[in-house]
Structure 1
């Protein structure tokens, strides 16, 4: 998540409570694939922006000036087109009611102080009421929950599943649970505010001290507002969401949020039952049973209730913000409860510390984690000329036991747009990255709305900065709006190159969700081809994937300038695994079905003559 205008890319947030690594499994004991599953594709939409047709894009613009998207904009046609792209899940980002600067008092919603809201539209990660949804997203704010429930039904009708955000580490400074179910008390309602820490307090406190507005950010860019007075009533002050214990946080702290207490003492020790040895190998059912007679902190119970509330409404899973800042014992407690209600729930976590990956997967019962600091960062370095692709093989080898759980992406709300000058520079240069990211492992693939039509995030939105599509402002997304075409969702305003780009994504993603080989085995052939292979440029990367019924060879050219021609080598051990006899075999590219080459097997080794253009990729299937 982005909590500030300022991003520190690739820095893992490691908290005091980080646990020991779970015991690594021997490779012979690991099955990295599941032949019964198909590859999943997640389409992330920033819900507030998706349906916005307004093209004004005034910095710091209001809803009236810049427009806003609604739940209703996800029409049957829109959802059909998203599914046709090759999508299996939609992540509706920014659904829970979060703090924002707009007057909804007529609907029983209190105003939020702009001094503790980032931007005008507010951060979706400063949730104000977990049992309702963002009023901006509703045609009738009084009926906003029903409008979202209708969207759940339309999504399922379209043959798609959906996930939404849950942000357990922190909540808005002015959280008001006005829609709590019967028996659910508000956060902090029973807290002892006279102490820094109590196991069952929902927050950490700075006793006898008033919260102070941080210096730096100018609320609403200097616009007058009756609530901007240099004061926010929080007494005693609470710890800030990123763990800052200052009465006056820094402007780069997550000052619009307060940190939730999960029973971690201020010295970092744990004040709750821990999972016994060996629980990294136990099922979610066994985890659920373990917690049934345990006394757990109050915050655990509150967030479990939230997750089960949305599960009961038909939400198919969750994306957990900054999950590594919350102890994995809590995740075991909550995720096992979710899985007991919906065994197929899709549970995705934002974790950036590789040393903790296995804890959050095996002990925390997460289905998927972001593969950010390994595969994503490597691909970004390659296209920016800072690295060769050879290291991709080492990354895959190092994560072989958990590769299925490491979700791949090249674009999301936190990161610079793939097509931005700060990343790939053009949508076309992003194509080989996308092919490799999608086909390298059995993990799900994620695409951020607008990525498939080359959105570069060039707008000056106000609080948000260019190269990222702002999550803090009311803004339009130009390339996406051209595809949306005034609500027709037919790409009618796209340029020819943008249409071709979207067609590329559609071909790639649809192949990926149907390919048994992509849920099968992986082996790199990079090393053998980098050795004494004339014409095999250092910016080429190749590997093979196979299952019982499908065998494919992937070759990608990360160079945007150089055409390469070479004899691609398929080593003897792969030829043997594929049970190929000496002779010739046809390899047909599965992206466009136009290119085919001959694989010649001689003395148990294979070669195929390949000519690959700049930024081109092939997914050759053995016929």
Structure 2
């Protein structure tokens, strides 16, 4: 497999077999999936989707309203939901107790999962949350000799580059909802709220980490001597890399200075190999090149391709906008990680997005097959999960909760036998379509190594450029035509290939070609000319994939 495909899931939800979860339900009422539920059958299924990497969300111990033996619950006003947010870490060095069959052996259970993942042929990514921690952060699992975050801070100073946190000396924290949590002096809040009075819309349950940037002092950078937070974060990354994890999805990486990444990532790659993967969650295109230069392998393409595809799928903009969004990042495009869903975004099939999973099929093909760059697939997307339940803190918002103990019916039906026997007719159709398209992405060399040429701009009468997208992947000997129909109506399209296109792709007019429909296997002999448009029929929400290979003399 030559294209990175990352399958992401929450173990807390993946293995939860509760048939009737209760909104705002406790661990005792709703239960939780376990690391052991990611067994050999589950991993084989993930591999069947063409996945090369598994990203498990919520592995590390985070703030929660659930108490465990010798592990107290967090203050209710410091927890979002009952299970709690996976992005409000309580201990960088420990595993979430809810995921373990035996709490006392939760690290051993993680190590067993890592071994299973590698044995299945997958690589494991974990979250690295570098910008903030839970207000209750305290590690009782860190290695000997490692100093806990904040333990040596001078709390009489708002800023010191040797402090791990930012303080408001003489001021206590005032939470928007009140509560019993006492913090004095107050610390800055994770979303860059530099006030002792965070609002309900702030990440009030988290503390901002100090990387040597004096935000209230004009944003000046103080990187000499090396800030202590840099050292602590390198120790954390080293801890998990030494266990054999294959990479890190770095949460809100753009809220941490590029200089830190440029200092830390090369050291880790030198120790553990260039294949140690770093994927950045980032939303500022003007900073893409800087973070790639700092050592990141891949970056989220959210504000470009995702937002554009969402608008296309909803009929809010022309399908021709795809090419503009794809090309906007220029030479950085091979490092952009595409996705249609993730834990922050609404489900395609939700009423807030497209109200049907079928719209995702042409969008999957259009984005996945457009290049060799990585692709992120969120669990349940391939089954048409709707995200329309009132789980608790999450509410009915078209997303799958990351804050609550919950279960997904489509995943339960899938896990019944991993053969689709329990799935609904629509779920099976969506899954089979995804498996086929994802398989083509991994088996077709033109996806990873070919060049891209968008065709929408050159089309005229007989082509619907608003609802259809066409492009070529090609090399010197073969060509893959991708045609995606984002309309609820079947289309008969006339696709023109003017001489300047044929010349650009080194395909002389009337060259004999073997045409193979990669979805049906049908073959025929054809030739492309500049004067006779190619006639293509595409079903509603359809995807046509035609490979053309030059015939040998």
Shorter chain as denominator, the TM-score bin is over 0.9
Match of 1:98 among 62, 69, 72: 62
Are 1:358 and 2:289 counterparts?
Answer: yes
CA distance in 2, matches of 1:578, 1:133: 55
CA distance in 1, matches of 2:524, 2:367: 24
Aligned residue runs from structure 1 range 365-404, under 5 A: 365-404=295-334
Are 1:570 and 2:480 counterparts?
Answer: no
Are 1:591 and 2:519 counterparts?
Answer: yes
Q: CA deviation at 1:231?
A: 1.9
Aligned residue runs from structure 1 range 303-322, under 5 A: 303-322=233-252
Aligned twin of 1:557: 485
SS in 1 for 2:171: coil
Instruction: Describe the superposition over 1:410-446 as per-residue Cα deviations: whole angstroms up to 9, x where unpaired.
Output: 0110000111121121111111111111012321111
Residue range with higher mean Cα deviation, 120-129 or 53-62: 53-62
SS in 1 for 2:87: coil
Aligned twin of 1:539: 467
Aligned twin of 1:281: none
TM-score (normalised: structure 2): 0.95
Are 1:345 and 2:276 counterparts?
Answer: yes
SS in 1 for 2:545: strand
CA distance in 1, matches of 2:291, 2:381: 29
- On the 8 A contact 2:334/2:372 being kept in 1, the answer is yes
Aligned twin of 2:382: 452
Instruction: Describe the superposition over 1:162-220 as per-residue Cα deviations: whole angstroms up to 9, x where unpaired.
Output: 100011000010101101112110000000001100011000001111112322xxxxx
Aligned twin of 1:55: 19
Aligned twin of 1:495: 424
Aligned twin of 1:336: 266
CA distance in 1, matches of 2:309, 2:532: 28
Are 1:324 and 2:250 counterparts?
Answer: no
Aligned twin of 2:230: 300
CA 1:331–1:549 in structure 2 vs 1: closer, same or farther (change >3 Å)?
Answer: farther
SS in 2 for 1:118: coil
CA distance in 1, matches of 2:362, 2:170: 57
CA 1:422–1:587 in structure 2 vs 1: closer, same or farther (change >3 Å)?
Answer: farther
Instruction: Describe the superposition over 1:253-275 as per-residue Cα deviations: whole angstroms up to 9, x where unpaired.
Output: 001100000000123434345xx
Q: CA deviation at 1:518?
A: 1.3
Q: CA deviation at 1:387?
A: 0.5
CA distance in 2, matches of 1:521, 1:394: 16
Match of 1:469 among 393, 400, 423: 400
Aligned twin of 1:245: 194
Aligned twin of 2:539: 613
Are 1:41 and 2:8 counterparts?
Answer: no
CA distance in 1, matches of 2:502, 2:465: 23
Q: Comparing both chains, which one has the higher relative contact order based on Cα–Cα distances under 8 Å and sequence gaps of 6 or more?
A: 1
- On the 8 A contact 2:66/2:72 being kept in 1, the answer is no
CA 1:268–1:40 in structure 2 vs 1: closer, same or farther (change >3 Å)?
Answer: farther
Aligned twin of 1:162: 124
Instruction: Describe the superposition over 1:99-128 as per-residue Cα deviations: whole angstroms up to 9, x where unpaired.
Output: 111111x2x323211111100000000011
Are 1:233 and 2:233 counterparts?
Answer: no
CA 1:606–1:321 in structure 2 vs 1: closer, same or farther (change >3 Å)?
Answer: farther
- In structure 2, list runs of 5 or more residues that go unmatched: none
- On the 8 A contact 1:524/1:544 being kept in 2, the answer is yes
Aligned residue runs from structure 1 range 137-148, under 5 A: 137-148=99-110
Q: CA deviation at 1:62?
A: 1.1
- On the 8 A contact 2:285/2:329 being kept in 1, the answer is no
Aligned twin of 2:221: 271
CA 1:262–1:67 in structure 2 vs 1: closer, same or farther (change >3 Å)?
Answer: same
Aligned twin of 1:528: 458
- On the 8 A contact 2:254/2:282 being kept in 1, the answer is yes
Q: CA deviation at 1:326?
A: 0.6
Match of 1:207 among 155, 169, 190: 169
SS in 2 for 1:65: helix
CA distance in 2, matches of 1:427, 1:397: 27
SS in 1 for 2:382: helix
Are 1:116 and 2:83 counterparts?
Answer: no
CA distance in 2, matches of 1:183, 1:210: 31
Are 1:483 and 2:414 counterparts?
Answer: yes
CA 1:295–1:606 in structure 2 vs 1: closer, same or farther (change >3 Å)?
Answer: farther
Residue range with higher mean Cα deviation, 196-205 or 504-513: 504-513
TM-score (normalised: structure 1): 0.85
SS in 1 for 2:452: strand
Aligned residue runs from structure 1 range 69-84, under 5 A: 69-84=33-48
- In structure 1, list runs of 5 or more residues that go unmatched: 1-36, 216-228, 274-293
SS in 2 for 1:401: helix
CA 1:167–1:256 in structure 2 vs 1: closer, same or farther (change >3 Å)?
Answer: same
Aligned twin of 1:85: 49
Aligned twin of 1:514: 443
Q: CA deviation at 1:358?
A: 1.1
CA 1:95–1:592 in structure 2 vs 1: closer, same or farther (change >3 Å)?
Answer: farther
RMSD: 1.7
CA distance in 2, matches of 1:238, 1:406: 35
Q: CA deviation at 1:383?
A: 1.5
CA distance in 1, matches of 2:273, 2:183: 39
Match of 1:601 among 507, 514, 528: 528
- On the 8 A contact 1:320/1:349 being kept in 2, the answer is yes
CA distance in 1, matches of 2:145, 2:440: 48
CA distance in 1, matches of 2:107, 2:217: 41
- On the 8 A contact 1:572/1:606 being kept in 2, the answer is no
